[in-house]
Amino acid sequence: MLRNIVDTNVLVSALIQKSFPYLIIYHHFINGEFELCVSDELIAEYYDVLQRPKFQKFHDFYIKAESLLSSIESRAVKYQSDKAIQLIADEADNRLLEIADSSNADYIITGNTNHFNFARFQHTRIVTPKQYWEEHGFPSLSAI
């Protein structure tokens, strides 16, 4: 089973629109098709970001976020890194690399191509949601 790390921006996108992030979260993570690797810090970031007032403009955002966070809490596997990684200017993004290091994750799935402008960190591939979806032989979004 694949071990994946999902950046917070992918969760936000999954809750707002039915695109590649939605498909990855609701058709693959929720169905148990990959192990979601998290840390206490990443879970805290998920909660912090998904509770921001700017998202109230999206219909049922908070209700869907609460349900998704509950699923993450019950299904994700927590990892703790024993070393700090300082490869990216944004501290929160370095936490994803630390999880990748401790979990030996297969993928970091992120929409943040500004900070994650490299394709690999150790064993872990860094991909956009679209790349992840297409690399695993799933149909194009237009076919769904």
Number of domains the chain contains: 1
The per-residue pLDDT for range 1-10, each reduced to its tens digit, is 999 999 999 9
The per-residue pLDDT for range 33-62, each reduced to its tens digit, is 999 999 999 999 999 999 999 999 998 999
Going residue by residue through the chain, which has 144 residues, state the pLDDT in tens, using 9 for 90 and above.
999 999 999 999 999 999 999 999 998 999 899 999 999 999 999 999 999 999 999 989 999 999 999 999 999 999 998 889 999 988 889 999 999 999 999 999 999 988 888 999 999 999 999 999 998 866 555 555
Q: What is the DSSP string of the chain?
A: -EEEEE-HHHHHHHHH-SSHHHHIIIIIITTTSEEEEE-HHHHHHHHHHHT-GGGGGSTTHHHHHHHHHHHHHHH-EE---SS----SSSHHHHHHHHHHHHHT-SEEE-S-TTT--SSEETTEEEE-HHHHHHHTTPPPGGG-
pLDDT of residue 114: 85
Q: Which two tokens stand for residue 1?
A: 């089973």
Q: For residue 98, give its domain range.
A: 2-143
CATH of the domain at 101: 3.40.50.1010
